[in-house]
Amino acid sequence: MSSRALLTEKIAFFCLLLCTLIIVIPVILITAVIVKNGIAGLSWEFLTQSPRLGMRAGGIFPAIVGTVYLVLGTMLFALPVGILAAVYLTEYAKDNWLTRVIDIAIVNLAGVPSVVYGLFGLGLFVVFLKFGASIIAGSLTLAIMSLPVIITASREALNTVPQSFREVSLALGATRWQTIRHVVLPNSISGIVTGTILALSRAAGETAPILFTVAAFYLPRLPQSLFDQCMALPYHLYVLSTQVPNIKPHIQYGTALVLVLMIMIMNIVAIVIRSHFRKKKLW
Partner 1 sequence: MKTGKLDIHNVSIAYGEKKALQGITFEIQDKEILAVIGPANSGKTSLLRTLNRLNENKSGFKISGSIHLDGVDIYKDIAVSSLRKRIGMIFALPNPLPLSIYDNIAYGPRMHGKRKKSDLDQIVEKTLKSAFLWDEVKDRLNLQALKLSGGQQQRLCIARTLAVEPEVILYDEPCSGLDPISTAKVEEAMVELKSVYTQILVTNNTKQAARVSDRTAFFLTGELIEIDVTEKIFTVPNDPRTEGYVSGRFG
Partner 2 sequence: MNFLKHRWNDIVEYVMEKVIFLAGIISIAFVVLIFIFLLKEGLSLFKTYSPFSFLFGLSWYPISHPPKFGVVPLFLGSIVVTLGAILIAVPLGVGAAIYIAEVAPRWLREILKGLVEFLAAIPSIVLGFIGLVTLVPIVKEVFGLPTGLTALSGAIMLAFMAMPTIVSIMEDALTAVPESYRAGAVALGATKWQMIWRVLLPAASSGILAAIMLGIGRVIGETMAVMMITGNAARIPTSITQPVRTMTATIAAEMGEAVQGSEHYFALFGIGILLFCITFLINFTASFFIKRKR
Residue selected from 8, 159, 175, 275 as contacting partner 1 according to rule CB under 8 A: 175
- Selected range binding partner 2 among 45-53, 100-108, 187-195, 218-226, rule: CB under 8 A: 100-108
> Contacts for 185-188 with beta carbons within 8 Å, 24 or more apart?
185/87, 187/161, 188/154, 188/157, 188/158, 188/160, 188/161
- Selected range binding partner 2 among 41-49, 51-59, 91-99, 188-196, rule: CB under 8 A: 91-99
Per-residue binder mask for partner 2 (CB under 8 A), 106-145, x = binder: xxxxxxxxxxxxxxx-xxx--xx---------------x-
276 binds partner 1 (CB under 8 A): no
Pick what 193 binds: partner 2, partner 1, none; C-beta below 5 to 8 Å, kind-dependent: none
Pick what 108 binds: partner 2, partner 1, none; C-beta below 5 to 8 Å, kind-dependent: partner 2
- Measured at the CA of 154, the angle between CA 232 and CA 235, to 5 degrees, comes to 10
**Greatest pairwise CA separation for the chain in angstroms:** 75
**Which string of b and e fits 91-116 if b means at least 16 CB within 10 Å?**
beeeeeeeeeeeeeebeebeeeebee
d(Cα 102, Cα 241) in Å, to the nearest integer? 40
- Selected range binding partner 1 among 1-9, 142-150, 175-183, 229-237, rule: CB under 8 A: 175-183
54 binds partner 2 (CB under 8 A): no
32 binds partner 2 (CB under 8 A): no
| Residue number, 4 or 279, with CB nearest to partner 1 | 279
Residue selected from 76, 100, 177, 248 as contacting partner 2 according to rule CB under 8 A: 177
d(Cα 12, Cα 34) in Å, to the nearest integer? 34
d(Cα 127, Cα 213) in Å, to the nearest integer? 10
189 binds partner 1 (CB under 8 A): no
| Residue number, 154 or 179, with CB nearest to partner 1 | 179
| Residue number, 137 or 157, with CB nearest to partner 1 | 157
d(Cα 75, Cα 94) in Å, to the nearest integer? 28
169 binds partner 1 (CB under 8 A): yes
What φ, ψ does residue 215 adopt, rounded to 5°? -65, 130
d(Cα 127, Cα 122) in Å, to the nearest integer? 6
Smallest gap from residue 113 Cβ to partner 2 (A): 3
17 binds partner 2 (CB under 8 A): yes
Residue selected from 183, 197, 200, 263 as contacting partner 1 according to rule CB under 8 A: 183
Pick what 182 binds: partner 2, partner 1, none; C-beta below 5 to 8 Å, kind-dependent: partner 1
d(Cα 216, Cα 73) in Å, to the nearest integer? 17
